[in-house]
Chain A
Amino acid sequence: MYEVLEPANLKQLELLKLKSQRRFLGSRQGGNVSLKRGHGMEFADYRRYELGDDPRYIDWGVYGRTERLYVKQFQEEQDITVFCVLDSTASMHHPEGDRKIRRATEVALGMLYVALSHHDRVHITIPGHTALGPSSGAGFIHRIAELCSNLPMIAPDDHKRGLQRFLHSVEYPGICLYISDFFLPIGEFQAQLEALYTHNLDVIAIRVTGDHDHDPSISGDRALFIDSETGTELPLQWSASMAREYAFRFAEHERVLREVTAKYQMHFFSHRASDPLMEFFCRKLAGTGVLRS
């Protein structure tokens, strides 16, 4: 049972709404302001009355001032497709004590539940493994949870190929949640963002890290560090100065990730797996406007 799916947490999430930075054409009536002008709640513009226009939309106040007929135009509210790309490479599974993959899954479930609760369609992809959706309805969240309950470790190459397949499959633009630890070279990260951007996706990158990602210090002086994805072994004489150096590089890496996402006008969030989950939704994401109540 995921923490995020507890009834109390779901109630909190239902109060939130996923807000896209951009407007997309939807496929059906929904709760998001679409690019399409038509019937809606949000005023968009005036235009000259043309024959056939619904006289209910004539702004008689304007006519009184200008003696010309203008009709009000509204942004149509349509549904939106929320894509979720959940990284399940080995780095998300190690070290096991950090529980990064579980927390990443919970973040995904929370965000998708917010979308589902507002009648948006959601689609989840675990690159290299499987995909589910698009579908809507709050009950869909349980299928997603079931899918994520036992995620395998995906090889990095499979992940890349899976990501490519996902991009090819995108038919509609929408919001794309990309959840990963983003331990990859900056160039590669940038290329992935570029691809998502070109597919007209409003990307929200959420970085989930574990405690050991922040501080891999060990007891004792020496250790053989092993890369969970490549199996690369790295013997190191650990020291306090090295720990300081690592902390600096970790912060620097995250700063560059944030800069790259900002360049594409995307959101970037970092979440530590040991931090409270609901605080992440209700304060961090809600505070920056990604989620609105």
Chain B
Amino acid sequence: MISVLAPWFFISLLPAGALLVWAYRSQGSGKRVTLGSLLLLEQLQEKVTFRQKFLPPIRFFVELVLFILLVMALSGVVLRSNTRTYALIVDNSEGTGHFIREGRTILDELKAHVPTWVTLGIVPGSALTTNYRVVVTSPSIREVTAQPVSGGELKSVLEEISAVAGSDNLQEAIQVAAQFEGVEEILVLSDKNVELKEKHPSIRFESYSPDEREITLDNLAIESSTFRGVEQSLDIALRSFHSQHAEGVISLYQVVLEKSEVVRKPLRRAKFVLEPGERTRVQFENVNRNGAYYAELTTPDTDSLPSDNEIWITTETKERQVFVDSKKPLGELHLVSFPGLTYEIKKSTDTAFSIFYKSDVANIRAGGLYVLPLVRESERKALSVVEAGELVRSKEEHPVLDYVDLATLEFGEVVPLSVPDWAEPLIEVEAGVIAYVGLTSAGPVAVFGFELFPLDGSNTPTQTVLYLNAVKWLFRQLFGGARALIPGQVLREESDVDYRFVSSPKFKAETLMDGALPAHRGLLFKNGNIVEAVHFYSADESGSALNKKVLLTMPFKRAQGVHQAQYSIHFWLWLALLLFALDLFFNALVPRYAVRS
């Protein structure tokens, strides 16, 4: 289908065409050639006049076509398929989750106007169909439609979208949508005014200018929490985004693990009263250092954004990393992107396990191979270096013992090991267990209480196999194991993972200790027997909505857009250039009739 973006340029075709004819007719008679006699030429002229008064040369037609092409280029003639594609960007950042009326969020209101858009986008009597590709901004910018969907399907796609914590970078989302193949128009649903910073000449950007209505969002929010280690107190900062006097209750829970499930046990509650815009702090005394907590704000008044009424708190002071293992590549994970949190792919070479030789096995810092571990003083009596004695039992089916003939192995002096409950004994001799393996939150661990690297070489073949098996098993556990972290859930150990990503939050233990722990979306995970929390903070969702001009009604009104089709312009211009060259060719390069002198 041919569309013309600026049809008024075609009006210039008539006067310009006439101008061209006039120019040809009045450009003079050309070269003056004096001949002996015009007797025969005059006869010829009569014949031509009879046939056609104005007989333009080929060059005239070339130039006429050239001009038509230029006009077409200027008027933006574009060839379009019968299917056009619109990109719909839905800003589903948490700010759009504010409840504004009758239990409906801003996002609900925005989505409610989409059917109107779809209806308005249909040209009556046209065979043109419109497909949509939908991009959401949160938790990360991504397309939620696997393939372009029709207007009817769009509704169901939109229903699946809800406000979540994450990005609201609309400019970046527009950039993403602009990359879609064949997209002609970008529509944006947002609670913020959108201005296109970078123009896309090939895409019409429709900025809908709805009537703006100032909406005051009545919201109470937990702004941050601060754990004071010395006083062992926990301060929780609250703020009112209410338009009027508001009161509420802040409840503190201790988070514990019971059978790998997060359980919140109520600790204390405190009432508060806030005037519009007022901030306050609620302090809870006697909060233990090593623990995880959960605070929740409830109010009898209207609260437009419930999600900022909770906070996960940990008083752990360790620096930590968050592991995310997945079968999908990083780009397809759509991981939450928060300020200060970046993800990097950890390759096997990056996370090669360590060998801890004569290290303290009671303080496992990382996954790896522990050989001849040191034991704690309290255990030294029972776990001193002793003669191994005879082999009592072994777990031959375990991969670490594949191809290992323990009968040929002389253990000599060994360190009997105390097997933790997360570990699995592999070899037990008369002196005790001398090898075990297990999975910890720090990584897979293989511990050998005997010399795995004997210098005499007598047992080298067997021990080498044992060592290689251990390495192999550790690697498989490192990169074949699985842990998927889900916000608000405890880290679970799963299997079948191809990729591992490590995020390194900027907010480290020190800042958690003395600074404010920002609200509110967080991630709890298990580190041994300790529950740890990482918070991803999206700063302005709670409060910036105050007096925000929320776009509620969206009459179909096109703003200034870029009505150009770059592809088409280039196409026509190239064609015109080609014809121009042809014109020169006709005119100069190949003179058809040369004057003989």
Let me know if B29 and A220 touch, CB within 8 A: no
Q: Which of A228, A232, A243 contacts B593 (CB 8 A)?
A: A243
B124 at the interface (CB under 8 A from A): no
Task: Determine the distance from Cα of A239 to Cα of B45 in the docked complex, in whole angstroms.
Answer: 12
Do residues B42 and A234 form an inter-chain contact, with CB atoms below 8 A? yes
| Whole-angstrom CA separation of A291 from B34 in the bound complex | 35
Chain B proximity of A24: nearest CB distance (Å): 34
Collect the chain B residues with CB atoms within 8 Å of residue A185's CB. 39
Instruction: Tell me which of B27, B35, B59, B587 contacts A225 (CB under 8 A).
Output: B35
Q: Please report which residues of chain A, range 67-121, place their CB below 8 angstroms from some CB of chain B when the two chains form the complex.
A: 90-95, 97-98, 100
In the bound complex, do residue B34 and residue A238 qualify as a contact, i.e. CB atoms below 8 Å apart?
no
What per-residue 1/0 map shows which CB atoms of B44-64 lie under 8 Å from chain A? 110110000001110100000
- CB nearest neighbor in B for A253: B40
CA distance A22 to B37 in the complex (A): 34
0 or 1 for each of A191-231: is its CB under 8 Å from B? (1 = yes): 00000000000000000001111011111111111111110
Indicate which residue in B32, B59, B591 contacts A226 across the interface (CB closer than 8 Å).
B32
In the complex the two chains form, what is the Cα distance from A236 to B42 in whole Å? 10
The 4 A-B residue pairs with the shortest CB-CB distance, nearest first, are: A222-B30, A224-B29, A183-B37, A217-B593
Tell whether A237 pairs with B41 under 8 Å between CB atoms, given A91-B36, A220-B31, A221-B30: no
| Residue A242 is within 8 A (CB to CB) of chain B in the complex | yes
| Min distance, Cβ B359 to any Cβ of chain A, angstroms | 96
CB pair A95 B35 closer than 8 Å: yes
CB-CB under 8 A from A184, the residues of chain B are 37, 39
Q: List 17 A-B contacts (CB under 8 A).
A: A95-B33, A95-B34, A212-B596, A213-B35, A213-B36, A217-B594, A218-B593, A221-B57, A222-B28, A223-B30, A223-B33, A226-B35, A226-B38, A229-B36, A235-B29, A242-B44, A249-B43
Assess whether B592 is interfacial by the CB under 8 Å rule. yes
On chain B, the residues within 8 Å of A97 by CB distance are 596-597
In the complex, A250 has a CB within 8 A of chain B: yes
Q: Which residue in B27, B31, B55, B56 is a CB contact (below 8 Å) of A218? A: B31
**CA distance in complex: A220, B29 (Å):** 11
Taken together as a complex, chains A and B put the C-alpha atoms of A226 and B37 apart, in Å, by 8
Cβ of B595 within 8 Å of any chain A Cβ, yes or no, is yes
Find out whether the CB atom of B37 lies under 8 angstroms from the CB atom of A227: yes
For B33, what are the chain A residues with a Cβ–Cβ distance below 8 Å? 95, 216, 218, 223-226
Given contacts A219-B593, A242-B48, A245-B47, contact A228 B32 (CB under 8 A): no
Chain B residues lying within 8 Å of A94, measured Cβ to Cβ, are: 34-36
| A102 to B: closest C-beta gap in Å | 14
Q: A268 at interface (Cβ–Cβ under 8 A)? A: no
Task: Tell me the interface secondary structure of chain A in the complex.
Answer: mixed
Contacts A91-B36, A253-B40 known; 7 new A-B pairs at CB < 8 A: A94-B36, A97-B596, A217-B595, A218-B30, A218-B33, A229-B37, A240-B593
Q: Indicate if the CB atoms of A249 and B40 lie closer than 8 Å.
A: yes
Complex interface: chain A residues within 8 A of B30 (CB): 218, 220-224, 235
Given contacts A216-B33, A223-B30, are A183 and B39 in contact (CB under 8 A)?
Answer: yes
A60 contacts B by Cβ under 8 Å: no
Return the contact of B41 from the options A95, A210, A216, A220 (Cβ within 8 A). Answer: A216
A92 touches B42 (CB 8 A): no
Residue from A219, A222, A229 in contact with B29 in the complex, judged by beta carbons closer than 8 Å:
A222
CA distance A245 to B40 in the complex (A): 10
Q: Which of chain B's residues have a CB closer than 8 A to the CB of A230?
A: 38
Complex CA gap A65/B223 in Å reads: 164
Is the Cβ of B45 less than 8 Å from the Cβ of A236? yes
**Smallest CB separation, B391 vs chain A (Å):** 108
| A246 contacts chain B at the CB level, 8 A cutoff | yes
Complex CA gap A94/B35 in Å reads 6
Residue with the greatest number of chain A CB neighbours at <10 A, chosen from B587, B596, B597:
B596
Q: Is the CB of A218 within 8 A of B595?
A: yes
Task: Write the nearest CB–CB distance from A235 to chain B, whole angstroms.
Answer: 4
Q: A219-B595, A220-B591, A249-B43 are in contact. Are A183 and B36 (CB under 8 A)?
A: yes
Known contacts A184-B39, A212-B596, A239-B57; decide if A222 and B31 are in contact (CB<8 Å).
yes
- Name the A residues within 8 Å of B38 (CB-CB): 225-227, 230, 232, 234
B1-42: CB near A (< 8 Å → 1, else 0) gives: 000000000000000000000000001111111111111111
